[in-house]
Amino acid sequence: MFRFLVVGFLLLSSTVQAQTRWLVVHTDTRPAPVERMRSVEEALRAEGVDVASSADAASRVETSLSLPFWLADESLRRELGVATEGVLTSVARGEDQRAIDDGLAMLERVETHLAALGRDERAGDDVANLCLFVVRAYMQRRDAGAARRQALTCLRLAPAFEPSARLHPPEIRALLDEIGPSEQGVLAVQADQASGDCLVRMQGRVVGRGTWVRRSVPPGRYEVQVECAEERAGRVHVVRVAGDSPARIDVDVTLDGAVRTDGAIALVYEDAEALRARSPEHLRRVASWVGVQRLLVHAEGTWTAYQVDPAGLTRIESFSAPEASATALARRIAAIGRPGEVRGVGVEEVAATPTTPVATVRSRAWIAGLLVSAVGVGVGTLGWVYRGTMEDREDEFAALTSGMEEGFLTLPDEVDTARRNA
């Protein structure tokens, strides 16, 4: 039974440690000091603090929220234009298979660049025309099924595109008109912007204006942007639409405008009012996406440690010495300890740091300690009762405990693996 208790203690210990993961994040109206944040992150790791790497955190935020907008390379635009002209030439000459092969290869290349290509009129039209030339090649081969499937792809790659009568014969335009709601899904975009004067883009192309846009679209992958500020491209929300159920995306325009994932996680707001009103909730959401329970927040030269709870943030300690070395800061953070071990280090609190108070950390630690103790006593008692019962049946007890020495030796490795994967 002693071995079972040891195993339970180790697993419980690994769970507790997994609940103390930190993230270094910046929130302010000014840009983040990326190098300073990286040095603090490295110092925390050197002090044995479980801290999320900025690269991993950026990946998780981008997966859960949105991707930064990037312009497409000029070389890709040129190659797209050349490919479009080449496929049109092949179709005109009756070289249908060549047109299909070349067209599909280029469309596959541009699939993940639609937000950038679609907002440029010429490049966006090249994507749509190239796709419809492939439809024409299928029709010339009398493959109506493939032509219809490709037409659905064209509607997905270039929403709201109006084909030119000069480039596309009547049968191509008629095929597009035949595709109705029964062959499509629904994509709805909701933006939380009070003014309502926002552009909504799908695949880079403007499909509506306002805080609510709903369109029938073919199933597949879409890059959605909501832009409420002129001359600023919105972050890219990747959405997958199914044909059997509507897809909806809610865009927090303020968060989209504030979040930065290049080099370090940062929330940079346009004004102090947005910083004060929105940063606590945004920090909590970032912590949830990254999978951390503690935040070390940099704002106006001050570092503040927070405990993250479902209801919001609780400030643990503030460190108002911007000239302090990263190592000194990391040591003070390491001294805070895990939940249940939180202790003040006698530093001055900074009231200006955004926070949404809930219960105090000390109260939660005391309650958590009682719960852990109760669970430990219960598990121990149950284990001894179970052992006594099994010993009354010697054969079953012997079968259960046979080979235990060999199995026990592998447990530390398994626990270490669980810790790394936590």
Q: Is residue 411 part of a domain?
A: no
Is 168 strand, coil or helix?
A: coil
Residues 299 and 312 in one domain: yes
Q: Quick one: 44 and 100 in the same domain?
A: no
SS3 235: coil
DSSP 73: P
Considering the domain architecture, whether residues 16 and 99 belong to the same structural domain is answered as no
Q: Structural domain of residue 54, as residue ranges?
A: 6-66+261-363
Domain endpoint, select from 330, 345, 363? 363
Q: How many domains does the chain have?
A: 3
Please tell me the distance from the alpha carbon of residue 87 to that of residue 80, in angstroms, as a whole number. Answer: 11
Instruction: Indicate if 215 and 129 belong to the same structural domain.
Output: no
**Residue-by-residue DSSP string for 347-382:** ----TTS-----S-HHHHHHHHHHHHHHHHHHHHHH
Residue 415 CB neighbours (<10 A): 15
24: in domain:
yes
Residue 339 confidence (pLDDT)? 54
CATH code: domain of residue 173: 1.25.40
Check whether residue 354 and residue 294 sit in a common domain: yes
Residue 389 lies inside a defined structural domain of this protein: no
Domain stop point among 210, 227, 256: 256
What would the pLDDT profile of 351-362 be if each residue is shown by its tens digit?
334 443 333 334
Residue 200: closest CA among 189, 187, 216, 184: 189
User: Is position 121 within any domain?
Assistant: yes
CA gap 2, 75 in Å, rounded? 67
Last residue of a domain, one of 153, 179, 205: 179
Q: What is the pLDDT of residues 89-113, one digit of tens each?
A: 999 999 999 999 999 999 999 999 9
Share of the chain residues as helix, strand and coil, in percent rounded to the nearest 5:
50, 20, 30
237 lies in some domain: yes
What is the mean predicted confidence (pLDDT) over 281-285?
97
- Beta carbons within 8 Å of 213's beta carbon, 6+ residues apart: 188, 189, 200, 207
User: Is 386 a member of any domain?
Assistant: no
Q: Residue 52 maps to which CATH number?
A: 3.40.50
- The identity of residue 261, as a single letter, is T
Band the pLDDT of 8: cuts 50, 70, 90. Answer: low
Claim to verify: residue 226 and residue 305 sit in the same structural domain: no
Residues 221 and 138 in one domain: no
Residue-wise pLDDT tens digits, 371-403: 445 545 454 544 444 444 444 444 443 443 344
Please tell me whether residues 173 and 193 are part of one structural domain: no
397 assigned to some structural domain: no
- Report yes or no: 223 and 115 within 8 Å, Cβ to Cβ: yes
Assign residue 250 the CATH number of its domain: 2.60.40.1120
7-26 average pLDDT score: 65
